[in-house]
């Protein structure tokens, strides 16, 4: 029966010869045709054809009779993916019509990278009104100029610029270089007796290509007279056969290709060709595309030989680092040579290519080693029955990324995830997406437009460097340029939609990044003459949120506010450059601006930049009390107004801010330098809650405790956590500025600084003692019981993670901690336990290290009175085994009874 199926496949492929939408019905066949052609019964024909449908070789149309067709041939020809069956041929035709013409380009390696600029030029030529524009393809030998024109013809057909039956004629001028008269005759036609050997009249290619496309390869071989005749045709659309005087007309689209420089042509001829398209050579296309090309050509050779081909990593490395003078053609010949050599050495069915199978010149070319990214891993196997897709759509990558963001947001909306976890998972997805794009760009060649965008972005970021509160690096600017070139300019984001709730959540929770993006994007839109969608803006905010803040956590915010076109921004820019970071923001106000206008600008700045430590405002007008009256009902931060504006004054204040001085200290020092009007206003709204962290070993550990607490509290309670020097607290107490600004709930640390009237809590008490009780005591009635339990669990898990990280060398710490957390929760439920934090920490550490020991086959073999333990605690042992089976399955280990004994001790004994 397998023989019958092979014959049906041959029949299906024969039916698809000259497959076109205009006569698509000819590609289908039914069981009676199989029966007649292959001389089998109808039952046999039907069963075999349906098996091929199930295997993905054919697809069928459920008409009467049922029709079949070659699935792969349809997918290749029309650039779509088909299901196994359809209700009618019209349904298939509608699918084909809906496929965008641009899908034709996806068969080309580098269509969205090195060839993207060339394809944009091609589309310009194709859609120019009238008969399009002639194009000149330029590039080295073997870069794929002829293939480019084939794709161009396919694209024009798909886009209905040409009909499916339009002629496509090709002439290689190099073949007739020594006979220019014959070359001219082939092109324009000739009459009988026009020259020696013209025994009968002949139609020229211009005439034959009427209403279609004519491609002249190696057109530099056309002599001056031929070029003159050709540009006359391009001007008027008319020509004359050799030996005739009659003028003839034709409507032909023209494509030319050459390996020579423009100087080799008549300039009058070149002027008629407005679009010159450069096809890059393999070295210019980058290492990633070079590897794709090599893999594609191995697959092609495998299909031709109808034998699998196996290639070692070393062979692949040599092929990757070789410079090919003949480009794609030379790579293909090298692969053919290697396959031939391997076949001659061995009679095996599989072609096994090793280093000795490569041509000798390869080793000569690689005598000087080059530093490339090498291919590593197991051998590659290329099978003739499977064609690996060599291209991937950047648009699909973006769509998949947005889908993942959307899915995580839906989980949050449905109550399955907290805001804390949503932001954490978004950060992972955004960072991964950015890293992948930058990595791809690292190995891709940059087109001139992309280089221009990158240069422009570097200029913009350089100008804004001292006006924003984020640290930019080269990779981030590269990513920004890459995103704009790949997605925005090509309209990939125009049809994308994000739910309103997601956009609102991003606006609300990433205000600082949003404020910076609102300054950045208008400048980019102006300089690059483009516009961003709401999806672009939302994604840019998330991208920017991955960067570190440039300001120190303890620094204040400061604004220079002045009337005039650029007074404030000029002073702020000078001061920021001299101070070395973005200490001052600026607000330029119109001369006619009112107090209401000024107050609104300040209010907006505070909200957008999430100002919460205090604000210094240098202003060029009086009435400070009146401005504060406008603001006091809405703000909950202290504001220091200084009614004097100047570069020296701003620099002095900037230095004080960078030294970590609080508003009270700055106000006092400014009064000493005779500033005309200095007023410090404290907030009238309820103060923000805060916790101080400290450690006698220094500020570094206090910051670590701060990060630990932030990770546990984020998304649960809005609170400020302030790391403070232990000795400052012990000697000077809590600063008046902090007392004025915050409602201080507690000091958490490793040692008590003995601050009067403060609530000190040992970190160890929270971690190892009654954590939930201490957390409830700190926050009193501001958190629910469920929130307190969740914070306590996070605290224990995160603290355990810090201890485990240094102990594990094999395992993914995040993954093992999540699995252990699940096991602890199961044990508490099934054994009716309420484990203390100390026992939970012990479980996290012990079980994580136990799994790594088991993977290394270094399990603990001894346990005191093992037999007695196994007899007396059978129920607990069964529960522990059941709960820990998830670890056994995940890591392919078995937890022995001795290890269960020690886990039992942690759960029940001191």
Give the model confidence (pLDDT) of 160-187 as tens digits.
899 888 999 999 999 988 888 888 889 9
Q: Check whether 270 has a pLDDT greater than 90.
A: yes
Beta-bridged to residue 353, according to DSSP, are 311
Closest CA to 775 of 794, 756, 757: 794
Identify the pLDDT of residue 676.
65
Rounded CA gap, 860 and 854, in Å?
A: 9
Q: Which of 686, 511, 521 is nearest to 604 (CA)?
A: 511
What span, in angstroms and rounded, lies between the C-alpha atoms of 114 and 280? 7
DSSP string across 719-784: -EEEE--HHHHHHH-S-HHHHHHEEEEEEEESS----TT--EEEHHHHHHS-HHHHHHHHHGGGS-
Strand partners of residue 168: 213
pLDDT tens column, 327-376: 999 999 999 999 999 999 888 889 999 888 999 888 766 655 444 445 55
Residue 841: predicted pLDDT: 76
Model confidence at 389, pLDDT cuts 50, 70, 90, reads very low
Sign for the pseudo-dihedral over CA of 324, 326, 332, 335 = negative
Question: What is the arithmetic mean of pLDDT over 586-600?
Answer: 82
Band of the pLDDT at 800, cuts 50, 70, 90? Answer: low
Q: Residue 119 belongs to what H/E stretch?
A: helix 116-126
CA torsion through residues 902, 906, 909, 910, sign: positive
What DSSP designation does 549 have? B
What's the confidence (pLDDT) of residue 293? 92
Res. 91: pLDDT tops 80: yes
- Summarize pLDDT for 27-85 with one digit per residue, the tens: 999 999 999 999 999 999 999 999 999 989 999 999 989 999 999 999 888 878 899 99
Radius of gyration of the chain (CA): 37
Query: Tokens representing 460?
Result: 């913009």
Integer Cα distance of 255 and 122 in angstroms: 10
- Cα dihedral value 313, 316, 320, 326, nearest 10: 170
Residue 444: pLDDT above 70? no
**Chain-wide mean pLDDT for the chain?**
83
Under DSSP, is residue 169 helix (H, G, I), strand (E, B) or coil? strand
pLDDT at 156: 94
- Average pLDDT value for residue range 250-265: 94
Whether the predicted pLDDT of 388 surpasses 50:
no
Residue 370, pLDDT score = 47
pLDDT digits (tens, 9 = 90+) for 642-657: 887 788 888 988 888 8
Confidence of residue 292 (pLDDT cuts 50, 70, 90): confident
Grouping H, G, I as helix, E, B as strand and the rest as coil, residue 899 is helix
pLDDT of residue 622: 59
Sign of dihedral through CA atoms 903, 905, 909, 910?
negative
The string of DSSP letters for 443-468 reads TSPPPHHHHHHHHHHHHHHHHHTTTS
Q: Omega before 17 cis (within 30°)?
A: no
pLDDT tens-place string over residues 643-697: 877 888 889 888 888 888 888 888 888 877 766 678 887 776 567 788 898 887 6
pLDDT tens digit sequence for 595-642: 888 888 888 888 777 676 788 988 876 565 677 677 766 677 788 888
Q: What is the mean pLDDT of residues 269-280?
A: 94
Whether the per-residue pLDDT at 206 is higher than 90: the answer is: yes
Distance CA 571, CA 649 (A): 10
Q: Helices 874-883 & 813-830, crossing angle to 10 degrees? A: 140
For residues 135 and 791, what is the distance between their CA atoms, to the nearest angstrom? 67
Q: What is the pLDDT of residues 839-853, one digit of tens each?
A: 887 788 788 888 888
pLDDT band, residue 294 (cuts 50/70/90): very high
- pLDDT bucket at 194, cuts 50 / 70 / 90: confident
**How far apart (Å, rounded) are the C-alpha atoms in residues 906 and 910?**
7
Q: How confident is the model at residue 582 (pLDDT cuts 50, 70, 90)?
A: confident
Instruction: Tell me the three-class secondary structure of 84-113, residue by residue.
Output: CEECCHHHHHHHHHHCCHHHHHHHCCCCCC
**HSE-CB of 796 using CA atoms within 13 angstroms:** 29
pLDDT recorded at residue 663: 85
Query: pTM for the full model?
Result: 0.53
In this structure, is the dihedral angle defined by the CA atoms of residues 575, 576, 579 and 580, taken in order, positive or negative?
negative
Amino acid 551: pLDDT: 41
Q: What is the mean pLDDT of residues 757-784?
A: 71
At residue 137, the 3 state secondary structure works out as strand
Residue 793 CB contacts under 8 Å (≥ 6 apart), including other chains: 821, 840
Q: What is the mean pLDDT of residues 234-263?
A: 93
């Amino acid at each position: 029966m397998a023989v019958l199926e092979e014959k049906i496949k041959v029949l299906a492929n024969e039916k698809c010869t000259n497959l076109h939408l205009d006569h698509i019905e000819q590609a289908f066949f039914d069981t009676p045709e199989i029966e007649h052609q292959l001389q089998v019964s109808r039952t046999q024909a039907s069963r075999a054809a349906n098996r091929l449908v199930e295997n993905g070789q054919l697809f069928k149309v459920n008409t009467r009779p049922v029709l079949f067709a070659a699935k792969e041939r349809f997918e290749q020809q029309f650039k779509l993916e088909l299901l196994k069956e359809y209700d009618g041929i019209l349904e298939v035709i509608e699918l084909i019509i809906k496929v965008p013409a641009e899908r034709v380009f996806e068969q080309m390696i580098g269509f969205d990278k090195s060839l993207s600029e060339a394809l944009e030029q091609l589309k310009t030529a194709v859609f120019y009104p009238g008969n399009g524009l002639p194009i000149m393809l330029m590039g080295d030998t073997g870069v794929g100029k002829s293939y480019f024109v084939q794709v161009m013809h396919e694209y024009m057909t798909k886009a209905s610029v040409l009909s499916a039956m339009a002629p496509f004629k090709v002439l290689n001028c190099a073949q007739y270089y020594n006979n220019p008269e014959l070359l001219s005759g082939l092109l324009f036609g000739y009459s009988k007796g026009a020259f020696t050997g013209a025994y009968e009249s002949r139609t020229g290619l211009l005439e034959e290509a009427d209403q279609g496309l004519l491609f002249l390869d190696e057109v530099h071989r056309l002599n001056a007279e031929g070029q003159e005749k050709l540009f006359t045709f391009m001007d008027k659309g008319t020509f004359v056969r050799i030996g005739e005087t009659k003028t003839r007309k034709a409507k032909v689209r023209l494509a030319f290709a050459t390996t020579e420089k423009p100087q080799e042509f008549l300039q009058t001829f070149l002027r008629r060709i407005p679009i010159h398209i450069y096809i890059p050579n393999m070295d210019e296309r980058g290492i990633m595309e070079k590897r794709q090309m090599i893999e594609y050509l191995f697959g092609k050779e495998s299909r031709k030989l109808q034998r699998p081909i196996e290639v070692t990593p070393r062979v692949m490395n040599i092929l990757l680092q070789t410079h090919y003078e003949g480009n794609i053609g030379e790579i293909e010949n090298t692969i053919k040579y290697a396959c031939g050599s391997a076949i001659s050495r061995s009679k095996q069915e599989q072609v096994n290519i090793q280093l000795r199978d490569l041509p000798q010149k390869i080793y000569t070319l690689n005598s000087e080693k080059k530093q490339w990214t090498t291919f590593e891993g197991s051998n590659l196997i290329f099978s003739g029955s499977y064609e690996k897709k060599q291209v991937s759509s950047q648009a699909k990558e973006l769509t998949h990324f947005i889908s993942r963001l959307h899915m995580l947001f839906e989980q949050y909306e449905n109550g399955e995830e907290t805001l804390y976890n949503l932001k954490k998972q978004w950060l992972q997805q955004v960072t991964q997406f950015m890293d992948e794009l930058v990595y791809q760009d690292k190995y891709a060649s940059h087109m001139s437009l992309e280089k221009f965008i990158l240069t422009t972005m570097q200029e913009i970021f350089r100008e804004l460097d001292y006006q924003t509160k984020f640290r930019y690096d080269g990779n981030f600017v590269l990513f920004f340029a890459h995103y704009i070139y790949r997605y925005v300019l090509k309209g990939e984001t125009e049809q994308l939609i994000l739910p309103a709730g997601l956009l609102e959540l991003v606006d609300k929770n990433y205000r600082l990044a949003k404020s910076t993006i609102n300054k950045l994007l208008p400048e980019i839109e102006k300089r690059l003459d483009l516009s961003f969608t709401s999806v672009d803006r939302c994604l840019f905010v998330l991208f920017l949120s991955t960067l570190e803040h440039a300001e120190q956590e303890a620094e204040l915010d400061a604004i220079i506010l002045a009337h005039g076109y650029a007074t404030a921004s000029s002073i702020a820019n000078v001061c920021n450059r001299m101070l070395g970071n973005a200490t001052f923001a600026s607000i330029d106000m119109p001369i006619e601006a009112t107090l209401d206008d000024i107050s609104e600008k300040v209010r907006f700045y505070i909200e957008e930049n999430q100002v919460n430590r205090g604000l210094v405002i240098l202003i060029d007008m009086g009435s400070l009390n009146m401005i504060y009256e406008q603001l006091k009902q809405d703000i909950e931060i202290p504001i220091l107004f200084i009614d004097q504006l100047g570069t020296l004054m701003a620099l002095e204040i900037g230095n004080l801010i960078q030294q970590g001085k609080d508003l009270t200290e700055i106000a006092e020092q400014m009064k000493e330098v005779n500033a005309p009007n200095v007023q410090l206003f404290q907030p009238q709204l309820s103060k923000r809650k805060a916790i101080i962290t400290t450690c006698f070993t220094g500020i570094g550990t206090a910051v670590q405790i701060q990060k630990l607490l932030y990770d546990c509290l984020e998304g649960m309670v809005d609170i400020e956590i302030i790391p403070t020097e232990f000795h400052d607290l012990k000697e000077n107490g809590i600063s008046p500025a902090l007392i004025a600004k915050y409602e201080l709930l507690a000091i958490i640390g490793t040692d008590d600084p003995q601050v009067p009237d403060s609530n000190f809590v040992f970190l160890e008490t929270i971690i190892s003692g009654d954590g939930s009780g201490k957390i409830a005591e700190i926050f009193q009635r501001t958190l629910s019981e469920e929130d307190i339990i969740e914070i306590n669990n996070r605290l224990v898990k995160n603290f355990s993670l810090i201890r485990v990280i240094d102990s594990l060398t094999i395992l993914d710490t995040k993954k093992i901690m999540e699995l252990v957390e699940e096991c602890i929760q199961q044990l508490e439920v099934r054994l009716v336990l309420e484990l203390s934090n100390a026992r939970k920490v012990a479980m996290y550490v012990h079980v994580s290290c136990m799994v790594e020991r088991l993977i290394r086959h270094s399990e603990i073999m001894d346990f005191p009175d093992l037999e007695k333990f196994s007899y007396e605690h059978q129920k607990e042992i069964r529960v522990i085994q059941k709960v820990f089976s998830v670890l056994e399955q995940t890591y392919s280990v078995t937890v022995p009874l001795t290890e269960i004994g020690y886990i039992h001790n942690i759960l029940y004994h001191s």
